[in-house]
Amino acid sequence: MHDPRELIERDPEAVRRLARRKFAFDREGFAAAYQRRAEAQGEVDRLRAEANAATRARKAGPPTEEAKEAARELRARTQTAEAEVRTAEQEFEALALGIPNIALDSVPDGDSEKEAVELRRIGPTVRTPGVTPRHHADIGEDLGIFDTKTAAKLSGARFNLSRGAGARLERALADFLLDLHTQEQGYTEYAVPFLVNRETMTGTGQLPKFEEDLFATSVGGRELFLIPTAEVPLTNMVAGQTLDTRELPYAFTARTPCFRAEAGAYGRDTRGVLRLHQFEKVELVRICAAEDAPQQFELMVAHAEECLKRLELSYRVVQLPAGDLGFSARVTYDIEVWLPGSDSYREISSVSDCGTFQARRAGIRCKTPDGRKGPAATLNGSALPIGRTIAALLEQGLQADGSVLLPDALLLYTGFRRLLPGGGTAPD
């Protein structure tokens, strides 16, 4: 959410800057709604002041029938005015909550991943000479670690079931990532709820815009949403709070399932584990003073990259163009892992600096030692999604004999170095 006065009065480029996000900002309509809300609240304040004055006058002498009738009329007018305030607030909030974050001027123009700017490449795109690249879904089936047919029987399309060494690998990978984040990178691990309320989803920008992409449940009249990412509960843990800047930055991490309806994505990535309705992910969240966000952003990107380096995976880093940014982001770097089976780089981590956008929605403020207050900044990033990381490990680690060689970093967590066709494992 933005400071409305910034969009209306102080930013003459607001319309153009939001157009870079493929958003048509109706500045006049937004200003009119803001003015209606202010006028409605002003009328309520005037009527309440009049009621207070009338109360003081009645106390000064015996009440008359005329005074009593005037008080009843004043109460009725106040109630009507308060209802008008609620309507005006709802209309303005609907507009305000639908405006995306404004991209930084340094973010390139463009509307899709085709305009993303490559920043760097790490690692080769040919891992083992003489090995014919294969899709991870086929590799996983041959290894006996994926069972998509049983998953489909249980839940339908876009679900996966891992078994044996595959399930062990998922657990090992999550433990490795969490140990890296907490023991070396300074994050505090949390076990968070997987179901959250509408206010929590609104705080980080999932609602109202992306309601069709969310799974929701209502039991006993209580509405809850399954989280699409741990960013939602981690960021909102400090919603409505004023934080001491001397204690910042906060660095949070959690491993959670993520639930996404993937509305509009049907027909894409139907094989394998790249686009599922349910998947596990280790998420990173940082909360800091607004002026520190650029430095914290680069640090978080480095933390996500370190995961891939330790796992010996080839990848590249790209900066997304303005029109391809997520709703709450003002700048995003995607880390894309190399998948030989499709001869392409695919997103495995998305790190975003949201500036003060989410903090304004969630009421997260910070206070400096000299007493100044303002909205905090929030940042988030994937480090890493378990399924996509395993897909990359399978495709990049494939050997000529059909086995998959895993990186040294996982040996302590798995107890094996190699996945063998048919479900077996080997220590080297």
Q: Residue 337 sits in a domain of what CATH number?
A: 3.30.930.10
Q: Are residues 316 and 242 in the same domain?
A: yes
How does strand 373-375 pair with strand 365-367?
antiparallel
Q: Are residues 76 and 208 in the same domain?
A: no
Q: Would 400 be classed as within a structural domain?
A: yes
Q: Are residues 74 and 117 in the same domain?
A: no
Q: How far apart are the first and last CA of the chain?
A: 52
Q: Would 180 be classed as within a structural domain?
A: yes
Q: For residue 400, what are the contacts with CB-CB under 8 A and spacing of at least 6?
A: 128, 130, 131
Res. 402 pLDDT band, cuts 50 70 90: very high
Residue where a domain terminates, one of 69, 97, 125:
97
The single residue listed with the structure tokens 């505090």 is 188
Residue 216, pLDDT > 60, answer yes
- Range(s) of the domain holding residue 84: 4-97
Q: Residue 73 sits in a domain of what CATH number?
A: 1.10.287.40
Q: Would 135 be classed as within a structural domain?
A: yes
Residue 269, pLDDT > 80, answer no
Q: Would 27 be classed as within a structural domain?
A: yes
Q: Are residues 86 and 233 in the same domain?
A: no
Q: Are residues 80 and 131 in the same domain?
A: no
Q: Are residues 298 and 165 in the same domain?
A: yes
Give the three-state DSSP class for 75. Answer: helix
Q: Are residues 244 and 324 in the same domain?
A: yes
Q: Would 102 be classed as within a structural domain?
A: no
Which tens digit of pLDDT belongs to each residue from 377-394?
999 999 999 999 999 999
Q: Would 103 be classed as within a structural domain?
A: no
Q: What tokens does 385 get?
A: 């999604």
Instruction: Give the model's pLDDT for residue 267.
Output: 56
Q: Are residues 287 and 358 in the same domain?
A: yes
- On average, the pLDDT of the chain sits at 93
Q: Are residues 226 and 164 in the same domain?
A: yes
Res. 150 pLDDT band, cuts 50 70 90: very high
Which tens digit of pLDDT belongs to each residue from 244-260?
999 999 999 999 999 99
Q: Are residues 93 and 140 in the same domain?
A: no
Number of domains in the chain: 2
Q: Would 104 be classed as within a structural domain?
A: no
In what order do the strands lie in the sheet containing 331-339? 117-122, 315-319, 331-339, 344-353, 377-385, 278-288, 250-259, 188-189
In sequence order, the β-bridge partners of residue 367 are 244, 373
How does strand 315-319 pair with strand 377-385?
unpaired
Q: What tokens does 109 get?
A: 């123009």
Which tens digit of pLDDT belongs to each residue from 89-102?
999 999 999 999 99
* pLDDT, average across residues 141-156: 94
Residue where a domain terminates, one of 68, 97, 126:
97
The single residue listed with the structure tokens 């309320």 is 197
Which tens digit of pLDDT belongs to each residue from 2-32?
999 999 999 999 999 999 999 999 999 999 9
Q: Are residues 91 and 169 in the same domain?
A: no
Q: Would 15 be classed as within a structural domain?
A: yes
Give the three-state DSSP class for 291. Answer: helix
Q: Are residues 263 and 237 in the same domain?
A: yes
